[in-house]
């Protein structure tokens, strides 16, 4: 099945979102009146120079930050309106996180890292085990389940992180420079995996990257321009090679 959606309701609907930071008594506008949609099942790459606000925007979409104004309707929920604990619950159920530096717990094995988000569910121990085994096999790390992050390569760690991101079966995956710390081959593996999650499981993916080759794996690229707010149109790409 194709990950390129056309007629489904948008998974993410961003309306007039602004965000600024205060630093040294000075207001730094990072996002200014941003409005766009992300369709369900879309794999969107966010590009732009450093400091353009990509991470800030991603954090808003992921529900770990709040806009100064505007609304973010994600899977039908206005996340800006949720309470702190409501937002946490919402994230646990709806968002999978992939970070540049993997952000695995160093004291937990690959298996335990993947299992972590399931502790917030009511699944039994056995059910958790089954889920974790499935997720690890999807990222081809079954044989590494008892390894600690320090015993894994960067690419393997990122795959563990991806398994953790999909373990609760969220509809939305957010990835901030997921290949930024990886060598070319590992990056390719990770991107293929993400593409697969998008196409086979229908995950909506928002990926921040400044690597053009990584962005090319997405269905669409959106540019955040240097400076405060400018937005480019979505760039539809032709089907690319895996």
Partner 1 sequence: MYLLKLILANSLRHKLRSALTVIGLLVAILAFGLLQTVVGAWYAGVDAASASRLITRNAISLVFPMPQTYRDKIRRVDGVAAVSYANWFGGVYQEPKNFFPKFAVDHESYFALYPEYVLKPEEFAAFKRERKAAVIGRKLAQEYGFKLGDIIPIKGDIYPGQWEFVVRAIYDGKDAKVDTSQMLFHWDYINETVRRALPRRANQVGIFLVQLKNPNDAAAVSLAIDKTFKNSLAETLSETEKAFQLGFVKQTEAIVIAIRIVSFVVIFIIMAVMANTMAMTARERIAEYATLKALGFGPGFVALLIFGESLAIGALGAGLGIAATFPVAAWFAAKIGTLFPIFEVSRDTLLMQIAAGLVVASVAALLPARRATAVKIVDGLRHVG
- Asked if 56 is part of the footprint of ligand ADP (rule: CB under 6 A), the reply reads yes
Q: Which helix (H) or strand (E) holds 85?
A: helix 84-94
- State the virtual CA torsion across 236, 174, 154, 152 in degrees, nearest 10: -130
For residue 215, give both structure tokens. 């962005």
- In this chain, which residue has its C-beta nearest to ligand ADP? 55
Tell me the angle at which helices 184-201 and 154-166 cross, rounded to the nearest 10 degrees. Answer: 20
Number of residues that bind partner 1 (CB under 8 A): 27
- For residues 52 and 181, give the distance between their C-alpha atoms in angstroms, rounded to a whole number: 20
Q: Closer to Mg ion at the Cβ: 45 or 138? A: 45
Of 41-49, 68-76, 102-110, 206-214, the segment contacting partner 1 by CB under 8 A is 102-110
- Asked if 55 is part of the footprint of Mg ion (rule: CB under 5 A), the reply reads yes
Backbone angles phi, psi at 78, to 5 degrees: -80, 95
* Count of residues in the chain: 242
User: Which of ligand ADP, Mg ion, partner 1, none lies near 50, with the C-beta cut-off 5 to 8 A by kind?
Assistant: ligand ADP
- Asked if 115 is part of the footprint of partner 1 (rule: CB under 8 A), the reply reads yes
- Residue of 100, 195, 198, 209 that binds partner 1 (CB under 8 A): 100
Residue closest to 172 by CA, chosen among 53, 57, 41:
41
- Asked if 179 is part of the footprint of ligand ADP (rule: CB under 6 A), the reply reads no
Number of residues that bind ligand ADP (CB under 6 A): 12
Residue closest to 118 by CA, chosen among 165, 170, 161, 168:
168
- State the virtual CA torsion across 199, 205, 210, 213 in degrees, nearest 10: 0
Measure Cα distances from 194 to 44, 54, 94, 145 in Å: 11, 19, 17, 20
- Asked if 123 is part of the footprint of partner 1 (rule: CB under 8 A), the reply reads no
Kindly state the smallest distance separating residue 48's Cβ from ligand ADP, in Å: 6
Of 31-39, 49-57, 88-96, 117-125, the segment contacting Mg ion by CB under 5 A is 49-57
Report the site for partner 1 in 183-242 (rule: CB under 8 A).
Answer: none
- Residue of 62, 75, 132, 173 that binds partner 1 (CB under 8 A): 62
- Asked if 149 is part of the footprint of partner 1 (rule: CB under 8 A), the reply reads no
- Residue of 15, 18, 36, 55 that binds ligand ADP (CB under 6 A): 55
Pairing of strands 235-236, 43-47: unpaired
User: Which of ligand ADP, partner 1, Mg ion, none lies near 99, with the C-beta cut-off 5 to 8 A by kind?
Assistant: partner 1
Residue closest to 198 by CA, chosen among 170, 161, 237:
170
- Asked if 59 is part of the footprint of Mg ion (rule: CB under 5 A), the reply reads no
Instruction: Quote the radius of gyration of the chain (alpha carbons, Å).
Output: 18
Q: Contact residues for Mg ion (CB under 5 A)? A: 55
Q: Contact residues for ligand ADP (CB under 6 A)? A: 21, 23, 28, 30, 48, 50-56
């Amino acid at each position: 099945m194709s990950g390129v959606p056309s007629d489904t309701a948008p998974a993410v609907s961003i309306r007039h979102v602004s965000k600024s930071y205060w630093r040294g008594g000075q207001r730094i506008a990072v996002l200014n009146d941003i409005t766009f949609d992300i369709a369900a099942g879309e794999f969107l790459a966010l590009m732009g120079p450093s400091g353009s606000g990509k991470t800030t925007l991603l954090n808003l979409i992921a529900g770990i930050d709040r806009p100064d104004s505007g609304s973010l309707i994600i899977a039908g929920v206005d996340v800006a309106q949720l309470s702190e604990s409501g937002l946490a619950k919402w994230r646990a159920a709806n968002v999978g996180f992939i970070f540049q530096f993997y952000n695995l717990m160093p004291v937990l094995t690959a298996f335990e890292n993947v299992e972590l988000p399931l502790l917030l569910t009511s699944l039994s121990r056995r059910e958790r085990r089954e889920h974790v085994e499935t997720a690890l096999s999807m990222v081809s790390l079954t044989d590494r389940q008892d390894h600690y992050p320090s015993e894994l390569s960067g690419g393997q760690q990122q795959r563990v992180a991806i398994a953790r991101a999909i373990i609760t079966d969220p509809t939305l995956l957010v990835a901030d420079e997921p290949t930024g710390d990886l060598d070319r081959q590992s990056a390719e593996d990770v991107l293929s995996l993400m593409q697969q999650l998008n196409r086979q499981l229908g995950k909506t993916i928002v990926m921040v990257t400044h690597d053009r080759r990584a962005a090319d794996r997405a269905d669409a690229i959106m540019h955040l321009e240097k400076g405060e707010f400018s937005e480019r149109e979505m760039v539809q790409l032709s089907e690319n090679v895996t």
